[in-house]
Chains A and B, each alone.
Chain A
Amino acid sequence: MSTDIFEQVRDALFESLYMVSAAWAIASLIGVPLGVFLATSRKGELLAARRLNACLNLIVNATGSTPFIILVVALIPVTRFIVGTSIGATAAIVPLSIAGAPYIARVVEGAIREVDHGLIEASLAMGGTPLQIVRKVLLPEALPGIALGLTLVAVALIAYSAMVGAVGGGGLGDLGIRYGYQRFRVDVMAIVIMILIALVQIVQMAGAAIARMVNKRVRPASGRSGRA
């Protein structure tokens, strides 16, 4: 009986990891370029395109302001069209990605806009094309902020993935509801909660470490740098 539960927990964990990492990757693929474009298409910026910027802003805001659980239900036809079913971990990736992408876009937009405008001016003066400047200047300079933002979204996706459990999405959330809630298995609920906390903790620490590693704005501590 207990090995059975153990196996279920393990499978649910892997399902959760699968959902979150796939959704996170897809959301990043959409969100990062979208965020860069949102930041650079504003009036007077490198890729200025006011109308398109306004349109995308509207879409991002609309997606961002829809409660996630509503989004999941509303997207059922889309999910069916893409995956073939609206039940299970793979199906859950669709709403998770669509909820994550605008979130990532906003975070990336913020990080890019934080980059000192003097760097853009200097790059233009050096004869850089807008795309070169995005690739070689804006993205590398915004990387610490982007890394922290992607971490934030990964954590949010872990929480969301537990929520899709409520509508048959599989994973730890699903397990928690079926056993912990519907069958009054407090022990299963406790294990699920502890695993989720540990997961968030690990992602958070890894993200912070990466952000620190790519941040060259802070002088390395003299002990670690090894070059006095």
Chain B
Amino acid sequence: MSAPTFPEASRRAARGARPAQMIRIEGVSRVYPATKKSAAVAALKDVDIAIGAGEIYGLIGRSGAGKSTLLRAINGLERPTAGRISVDGAGISALDGEQLRAARRKIGMIFQHFNLLSSRTTFDNVALPLEFAGLDRKAIGMRVGTLLELVGISDKRHRYPVELSGGEKQRVGIARALATEPKVLLSDEATSALDPDTTRAILALLADINRTLGVTIVLITHEMAVVKEICHRVGVMEAGQVIEEGDVYDVVSRPRTDIARSFLSALSGRELPRWLAEKLHPDRERALKAVLRLRFTGEKATEPAIARLAQKFGADVAILQAQVDEIGGRPFGSIVVAAPADEEFDAAAHAFLADYDVAVERIGYVD
């Protein structure tokens, strides 16, 4: 008398749009009460995020946007004043004492400044969470050996942190965070103190860990480049709220909010060149040319849309700045052009370019 099976349904579930949820953040607020010196501060305001198992989720925002508070709420270092957070089914925000510690062992964390014990060698630093968990010496030795192998610093096992480079220290931090075989890894600006090459190597390691161990990663950063490099989804935070969220490709290629746009412009070359920025003004009447930003996404990003636009309308379209980039192997481009300023052309160009999946944004006018 076995239960009836629904192969179609189970297959659909297996390749479902969203994987099983690992982290649920529901209506979370965090208010720091008023003190003698300052008024009450709401660090988080009614935040809702769901993060799937095996996902790499990026939280981006300026400093003070609340991303650090939110990250710390996930492992209970911060207590929300409202709302609830659950990780792998455990209601973190409601746990206490030994239950909370047990839940925390299933959540690893890495830090911008590594937070390694200066009094312990690489080996002993990685062993620390296992000592906390009460493992015996032999089990710790085996586990640490595997971890050092995994992050590629087996040869530094007897070195003290002071003898290690920044990248090596972060590798120790990652090994330590993975020691108790967590399902979730929290990364607090883990690459912000590292040079670009080391940053790339550490991000590659994190992506690798995500792929091979299936660890869900939540990272906070103020660099869109980090998000672009390894995240699957991203949430943009501002003033304690998530103001924009979605697949990295969508957010990067079509940002909806100014904040997201400003993070994007901080990506190399996305800022307007100074000579152009200085000449821009909002007055159409006295303008000769409109300055448009065209965003190409999807398969058609590589098609010669501009050439065809110029051909079709016989219009002068000058390219002022251009960049083609890719996220997760999907190309997207951003091109700034000077085009005729009349409204007729504007409407026609909009319609024409929509066929090529090009989003048009008018930045201003030049004489």
Contacts and interface: CB of A to CB of B under 8 A. Distances in A.
B119 A125 contact: no
A126 to B, nearest CB: 4
B119 A140 contact: yes
B133 interface: yes
Interface in B91-129: 101-102, 104-105, 107-109, 111, 113, 115, 117-120, 128-129
A119 B109 CA distance: 12
Contact of B128 (A116, A121, A123): A123
A208 interface: no
Interface residues of B, number: 29
B119 A143 contact: yes
A126 B107 CA distance: 8
Contacts of A128: 101, 128-129, 132
Given A126-B129, A126-B132, A119 B105 contact: no
Nearest to B132: A128
A124 interface: yes
B120 A140 contact: yes
Contacts of B133: 127
Contacts of B115: 116, 118-119, 121-122
Nearest to B131: A136
Nearest to A121: B77
Dominant secondary structure of chain A at its interface with chain B: helix
Nearest to A142: B119
B180 A127 contact: yes
A126 B113 CA distance: 16
A127 to B, nearest CB: 4
Interface stretch (A76-84, A173-181, A215-223): A215-223
A126 B111 contact: no
Contacts of B77: 121, 124-125
A116 B117 CA distance: 9
A165 B229 CA distance: 73
B119 A219 contact: no
B163 A219 contact: yes
A129 B101 contact: yes
Contact of B75 (A125, A132, A214, A216): A125
A143 B118 CA distance: 11
B132 A129 contact: yes
Contacts of A132: 131-132
A70 B149 CA distance: 63
B162 interface: yes
A220 to B, nearest CB: 8
Interface in B156-182: 160-163, 176, 179-180
A216 B118 contact: yes
Interface in A15-47: none
A48 to B, nearest CB: 14
Contacts of A127: 101-102, 104-105, 129, 132-133, 180
B117 A140 contact: yes
A119 B111 CA distance: 10
Given A132-B132, A136-B131, A216-B162, A125 B117 contact: no
A178 B349 CA distance: 108
Interface string A103-131: 00000000000001011011111111100
B119 A126 contact: no
B104 A125 contact: yes
Contact of B119 (A118, A123, A216): A216
A200 to B, nearest CB: 28
Interface string B66-89: 000000000101000000000000
B238 to A, nearest CB: 25
A159 interface: no
Contacts of A214: 119
B40 to A, nearest CB: 17
B162 A218 contact: yes
Contact of B117 (A141, A218, A219): A141
A128 B180 CA distance: 12
A198 B57 CA distance: 64
A123 B130 CA distance: 11
B128 A136 contact: yes
A137 interface: yes
A137 to B, nearest CB: 6
Contact of A141 (B113, B118, B160, B179): B118
Given A122-B111, A122-B115, A216-B161, 16 more contacts: A121-B77, A121-B111, A125-B104, A126-B104, A126-B129, A126-B132, A126-B176, A126-B179, A127-B104, A132-B131, A136-B131, A140-B117, A216-B120, A216-B160, A216-B162, A217-B118
10 contacts: A119-B115, A119-B117, A121-B111, A121-B115, A123-B132, A124-B77, A125-B77, A125-B186, A126-B104, A127-B102
